[in-house]
Amino acid sequence: MAPPIADTTAPAADSNGTPAPSIAVPQKADPIVNGSVASSYPDKYFVATSEMAQLSLPADSVPYVSGSDSSPELPRRRQPSQRIADDTVMFDPWCDPANPRTLHFQDVCEAAYKIKSGIMSTPCTRSYISEECNMQLFFKKDYMQYTGSFKERGARYTLMMLTADQRKAGVVAASAGNHALALCYHGRELGVSVTVVMPIIAPIMKVQSCRNFGANVIVRGDDLAQSKEIAMTMAKEDGMMYINGYDHPNILAGQGTMGLEMMEQVSNLDAVVVPVGGGGLIAGVALAVKSLNPNVLVIGVESEKCASFSAAVEHGSPVHTRCHSTLADGLAVPLVGVNAFATAAPLIDKMVQVSEEQIAISILRLVEVEKAVVEGAGACGLAAILSGALPELRGKRVVVPLCGGNIDTTILGSIKDIMHERAWIRNDIYSVEVKVVAETINAAETYRLRDALCTAYEFVRFGPVCGTYD
């Protein structure tokens, strides 16, 4: 069973141990009581001081925040300042490395009760690949949630647990995909103003979907780390709560509800094989499963391109890990969550890593055999099984969450159409003329593509550039 909650003394110093006098932080972090986080924070988390004033907007900043006009009840927000965030701004009192929180089973049970009416209890059905894998394999189909991933569980629960003042101030998050979609959708459902900062590499489709939910969507930051800085700066400036998508205690509790459902849906379960990014999903699921039956094996799967949880296990605590681009973009988290690690690490029996090829094969097998469109991160559990890395599961009853279906079409499907033309090429039977319709993320990318084509090929006719960019 999980150890008790660590002493959650107030964040009186930053991560370097330097006192943080410029921002009034709560004197005692929120203990988790009866499954909910009982707030002992003042109405506003942070009290502005003269130093905070430096964070204010430059007068000449260009507006770029875009929200849907169809949701007048959700106020539009101004843009964040250009300032580079310092350690104080980047400190999240909910996810304090000096005081990691370990979740309790009761937290997951309360989350399950609270989100029941707003989240789909997804099917967990026997897979057609069972025989091929020599086990009784069940897929927990969370890609069927409304926004296509399990992230809705934690997002909804966290939004439901906001105090009246927190609801009024709204929430902010940084995400390239599933967490953003989940927050934007449930924010609209629950009447909470949501701001999401998405990196410029975020798939166009996901950015647009977030906007369609009426959220304030800011596309800024070369990567998620930069987007997070912007989001946390906004949180401090505007008094919004920053919601870490894989480490806020209520996010973990919400994700754990998937584990409760697995235990309910599959009798005599022997093992679960769970994809690991920041660690929030496996923390919640492991807690639920092990609490109900400590004999169930909990196996975590990472992309070998970003093995940050394994690195944390080796190091003894979360540690920055180099990540490379991966088909499992949802798992590309260089630093796992402190609460997630504290909760999950003692409960995980084994970690395995999967290659890009194994992930790609799993995505294809799921389409072919299960008729399921599952994104790279969501296919990693099956990838681990197909890779042969888990021989101990032969003959066992195993659940694999297919936890997301939002395939990044900008990466996997940026080529919208290809037409081959041979009929009118007379001189050279080895040549072909190709007409390509491609989608790019912005104008700069379009012209980079044109330059690359012109460098590589003798005859290039670059057609009209259609559509709009932010």
List contacts with ligand PLP (CB under 6 A). 149, 178, 246, 275-282, 330-331, 333, 375, 377-378, 403-404
Cβ proximity to ligand PLP, 239 vs 404, nearer residue = 404
Closest C-alpha to 387, from 364, 407, 362: 362
Residue nearest to ligand PLP (CB): 404
Cβ proximity to ligand PLP, 160 vs 363, nearer residue = 363
Report, in Å, the least distance between residue 298 CB and ligand PLP. Answer: 13
Report, in Å, the least distance between residue 275 CB and ligand PLP. Answer: 4
Closest C-alpha to 140, from 154, 156, 157, 120: 120
Report, in Å, the least distance between residue 342 CB and ligand PLP. Answer: 14
The sign of the dihedral angle between the CA atoms of 97, 333, 275, 257 is: positive
Cβ proximity to ligand PLP, 239 vs 254, nearer residue = 254
Report, in Å, the least distance between residue 378 CB and ligand PLP. Answer: 4
Give the angle 331-234-213 at the CA atoms, nearest 5°.
Answer: 65
Facing residues of 174 across strands? Answer: 197
Report, in Å, the least distance between residue 218 CB and ligand PLP. Answer: 19
For residue 110, what are the contacts with CB-CB under 8 A and spacing of at least 6?
34, 35, 36, 253
User: % helix / strand / coil in the chain, to the nearest 5?
Assistant: 35, 15, 50
Cβ proximity to ligand PLP, 169 vs 281, nearer residue = 281
Cβ proximity to ligand PLP, 77 vs 140, nearer residue = 140
Cβ proximity to ligand PLP, 153 vs 220, nearer residue = 153
Residues 20, 11: contact at Cβ < 8 Å? yes
Report, in Å, the least distance between residue 465 CB and ligand PLP. Answer: 32
Q: 27 φ, ψ to 5°?
A: -75, -20
Residues 340, 323: contact at Cβ < 8 Å? no
Cα separation, 240 vs 243, in Å, equals 9
Report, in Å, the least distance between residue 375 CB and ligand PLP. Answer: 5
Cβ proximity to ligand PLP, 230 vs 286, nearer residue = 286
Structure tokens of 22? Answer: 């410029």
